[in-house]
């Protein structure tokens, strides 16, 4: 699941969006998509959901509370080592009781059910938005809304949104062969009434005063900069959003970080001096995230994206230092 990914993968969702008018999508389907994007941030809810990719299944419990002060959320893993993630707007505190550690960081990744960006700029340029059938998930009737990619450079998506609120009850991602890449689905859910601020408070807060506190993620510096790398064969529909140099835990020098997005999927590029013990070159994956590593002169290029492998590979092999 996203919460267990390595440092580079945790940065995958750290992108910003600029609002723009969408055209080309049926008005009713687009209205549902906007309702879905807003609901997971504005609705109070609590429940249990299952995340599945490949042969792996993970279960988590989530509570979300929103008021005039913003958003508050608690996510607990129910399988494997205990882990609790508490979010107060954009500040995220992760409690790891097995190693008595608290990690504090800024929110960077989108998590179920808030998988859509707040602004849906450019979505219909790269996806066909369709309103599908109605279904039933966790005892609630829901409306299916599909995002069908216009090419094989991005995944397809299907959301099933609760009829009254638009809260996503199920989210599935599909390959270009219509094979399910990953799935999130509530198995038990309560919406609206009965959800209080107390439900999003950590159960470890009172017993963690002596735990180690890791704030290294908050202390990472980043500056907008020309990395002097160019993409010679940019995948259709992907645009460069950010280009910065940043510090990353475990790295002795700043890493160049470039983010490309099609309005929904994000691809992050990391460029750094070749380490003494580099990872194997070529493709790997973790769930729906594909990774491609290659060397370029004395630099290591790592490309990470929640896209098909061909998209990540195209970006990795098309990057080169700008000729001076």
**Exposure pattern of 283-294 as b/e (b: 16+ CB <10 Å)?**
beebbbbbbbbb
The answer to whether residues 268 and 11 touch, using CB atoms and an 8 Å cutoff, is: yes
| Confidence label for 12 from pLDDT (cuts 50, 70 and 90) | low
Distance CA 126, CA 160 (A): 20
Same domain, yes or no, for 108 and 249? no
Give the residue among 86, 66, 233 at the shortest CA–CA distance from 165.
66
Least confident of 36-50, 167-181, 192-206, 237-251: 237-251
Same domain, yes or no, for 228 and 134? no
Same domain, yes or no, for 209 and 307? no
User: What's this model's pTM, rounded to 2 decimal places?
Assistant: 0.88
Same domain, yes or no, for 194 and 226? no
Distance CA 41, CA 319 (A): 36
pLDDT at 8: 55
Domain end, chosen from 214, 245, 266, is at 214
pLDDT exceeds cutoff 90 at 7 = no
Taking 3-state DSSP, the helix, strand and coil percentages for the chain, each rounded to the nearest 5, stand at: 15, 45, 40
pLDDT at 107: 83
Can you give the residue range of the structural domain that contains 78? 2-214
Same domain, yes or no, for 94 and 236? no
Same domain, yes or no, for 153 and 210? yes
Return the DSSP state at 76.
Answer: E
pLDDT at 11: 56
- Our CA angle for 233, 179, 128, nearest 5°, is 60
**Higher pLDDT pick, 18 / 245:** 245
Return the DSSP state at 309.
Answer: H
The answer to whether residues 159 and 170 touch, using CB atoms and an 8 Å cutoff, is: yes
Domain CATH code at residue 307:
3.30.200.100
Give the model confidence (pLDDT) of 58-82 as tens digits.
Answer: 999 999 999 999 999 999 999 999 9
- How confident is the prediction for the chain on average, in pLDDT? 90
Distance CA 295, CA 304 (A): 15
| Confidence label for 9 from pLDDT (cuts 50, 70 and 90) | low
Return the DSSP state at 93.
Answer: E
pLDDT exceeds cutoff 60 at 15 = no
Same domain, yes or no, for 131 and 25? yes
Domain end, chosen from 191, 214, 237, is at 214
Domain end, chosen from 214, 242, 270, is at 214
Give the model confidence (pLDDT) of 243-300 as tens digits.
Answer: 999 877 777 788 999 999 999 999 999 999 998 888 899 999 988 999 999 999 899 9
Count of domains for the chain:
2
Q: Other CB atoms closer than 10 Å to residue 276's CB: what's the count?
A: 5
The answer to whether residues 206 and 217 touch, using CB atoms and an 8 Å cutoff, is: no
Give Cα separations from 271 to 26, 235, 256, 298, 313 (angstroms): 40, 19, 5, 10, 15
**Higher pLDDT pick, 119 / 154:** 154
Same domain, yes or no, for 12 and 88? yes
Same domain, yes or no, for 254 and 193? no
Query: What backbone phi and psi angles, to 5 degrees, belong to 113?
Result: -90, 0
pLDDT at 234: 95
Same domain, yes or no, for 314 and 272? yes
Give the model confidence (pLDDT) of 79-137 as tens digits.
Answer: 999 999 999 999 999 999 999 999 999 987 789 999 999 888 789 999 999 999 999 99
The answer to whether residues 223 and 205 touch, using CB atoms and an 8 Å cutoff, is: no
pLDDT at 122: 83
Percent of the chain exceeding pLDDT 90 equals 76
Same domain, yes or no, for 127 and 269? no
Distance CA 283, CA 274 (A): 17
Same domain, yes or no, for 229 and 277? yes
Q: Is the dihedral of CA 290, 179, 133, 171 positive or negative?
A: negative
Domain CATH code at residue 128:
2.50.20.10
């Amino acid at each position: 699941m996203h919460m267990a990914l390595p440092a580079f993968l945790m940065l995958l969702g750290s992108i910003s969006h600029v609002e723009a008018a969408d055209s080309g999508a049926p008005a009713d389907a687009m209205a549902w998509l906007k309702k879905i994007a807003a609901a997971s941030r504005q609705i109070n809810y609590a429940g249990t959901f299952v995340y599945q990719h490949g042969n792996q299944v993970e279960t988590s419990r989530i509570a979300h509370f929103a008021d005039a002060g913003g958003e508050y959320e608690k996510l607990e893993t129910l399988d494997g080592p205990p882990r609790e993630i508490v979010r107060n707007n954009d500040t995220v505190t992760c409690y790891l009781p097995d190693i008595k550690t608290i990690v504090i960081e800024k929110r960077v990744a989108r998590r179920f059910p808030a998988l859509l960006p707040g602004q849906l700029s450019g979505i219909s340029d790269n996806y066909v938005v369709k309103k599908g059938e109605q279904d039933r998930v966790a005892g609630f009737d829901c409306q299916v809304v599909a995002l069908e990619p216009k090419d094989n450079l991005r995944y397809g998506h299907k959301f099933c949104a609760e009829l009254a609120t638009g809260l996503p009850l199920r989210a599935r991602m599909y390959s270009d062969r219509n094979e399910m890449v990953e799935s999130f689905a509530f198995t038990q859910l309560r919406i609206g009434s009965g959800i209080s601020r107390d439900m999003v408070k950590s159960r470890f807060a009172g017993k963690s005063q002596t735990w180690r506190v890791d704030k290294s993620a908050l202390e990472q510096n980043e500056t907008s900069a020309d990395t002097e790398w160019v993409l010679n064969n940019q995948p259709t529909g992907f645009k460069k959003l950010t280009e910065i140099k940043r510090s990353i835990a475990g790295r002795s020098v700043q890493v160049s970080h470039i983010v490309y997005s099609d309005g929904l999927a994000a691809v992050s590029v990391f460029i750094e001096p070749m380490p003494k013990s580099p990872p194997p070159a070529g493709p790997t994956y973790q769930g729906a995230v594909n990774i491609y590593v290659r060397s370029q002169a004395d630099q290591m290029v790592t490309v990470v994206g929640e896209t098909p492998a061909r998209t990540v590979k195209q970006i990795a092999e098309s990057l080169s230092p700008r000729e001076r």
